[in-house]
Amino acid sequence: MTSRSAGSEEPYLRGRSVLVVGATGGIGEGVTRALLALGATVVGAGRDPDRLGALADYAGGIGPGTLRTHLVDVSNPDSAAVRAQLAERYGQFDGAVLTVGNWGPPGRTSLLEVSDEVWDAMIADNLTSHFRALRAITPLLDPEGALVHLTGFSAEIPYPGNALVGATNAAKKSLLRTLTAELGGKGPRIHELVIGPIRTRPRAAMGADSPSWLGAEDLGRHAGELVAGRGPWSTEPLQYLLDRASGVLTELPR
């Protein structure tokens, strides 16, 4: 996978609509920009009106696609109401990208020292929210479209000091794999992307950056190909995008 600048590709998503959940986050804003450059109509969903406004300022000028921001909490337990709200305004989507998550309290805490309060918050933010988002959004997708879900690589390895991030990522991966099996090819394609560290604006501002990492816009371009059903990965439900050198893998190296 190589890095390309916005606007350097054919806008093959022209005429297609893509919902980006978590569009105001560091990865979400990069995904949004990449999809706009590919010509999509992007509905950037988020819970904070100020952050949605900042997204519009940062990504709204990217063409030839169109950005629409939408204030909604897809983790609302009334998934039917969320679904009805989105359907009434936008109808059916050709694709959706889910990129939401919570790293929990700053610093590292051993598993045996995690409080019930932190446990409950992490389960709610990093697992229940994804379950509810899937329940609300999947029925809104065109059966020929795709749902792209992002999960961190901590799903695959022990994660000392931040066990709940790894545990919830592993559980999310299981949810998506099960959804793929349950749909059995009758519905939108489900793509679970297990990702390594990603270059984002917030990370760079904190001094965490490496040219070996994939960027948020790289993920967006990859998601665009999956939504469009293009390229060699559009039939692969599980993919690993760990760093720039590795490219796209369908299983971990032994």
Contact, 199 vs 215, CB < 8 A?
yes
User: What is the per-residue pLDDT across 82-92, written as a single tens digit (0 to 9) for each?
Assistant: 999 999 999 99
Kindly list the distances between the CA atom of residue 117 and the CA atoms of 97, 132, 179, in Å, as whole numbers in the listed order: 29, 21, 29
Q: What is the pLDDT of residue 3?
A: 53
User: What is the per-residue pLDDT across 220-254, written as a single tens digit (0 to 9) for each?
Assistant: 999 999 999 999 999 999 999 999 999 999 999 87
> What stretches of 138-215 show up as alpha helix (H) in DSSP?
163-183, 201-205
Kindly list the distances between the CA atom of residue 81 and the CA atoms of 8, 103, 133, 186, 190, in Å, as whole numbers in the listed order: 39, 28, 12, 24, 23
User: What is the per-residue pLDDT across 189-225, written as a single tens digit (0 to 9) for each?
Assistant: 999 999 999 999 999 999 999 999 999 999 999 999 9
Amino acid at residue number 243: D
User: What is the per-residue pLDDT across 127-160, written as a single tens digit (0 to 9) for each?
Assistant: 999 999 999 999 999 999 999 999 999 999 998 9
User: What is the per-residue pLDDT across 95-120, written as a single tens digit (0 to 9) for each?
Assistant: 999 998 877 777 789 999 999 999 99
Both tokens of 110, joined, read: 């051993």
Q: What is the pLDDT of residue 60?
A: 84
Average pLDDT value for residue range 42-52? 96
Residues, the chain: 254
- φ, ψ for residue 55, nearest 5 deg: -60, -45
Q: What is the pLDDT of residue 1?
A: 57
Class of domain 17-241: alpha beta
Amino acid at residue number 28: G
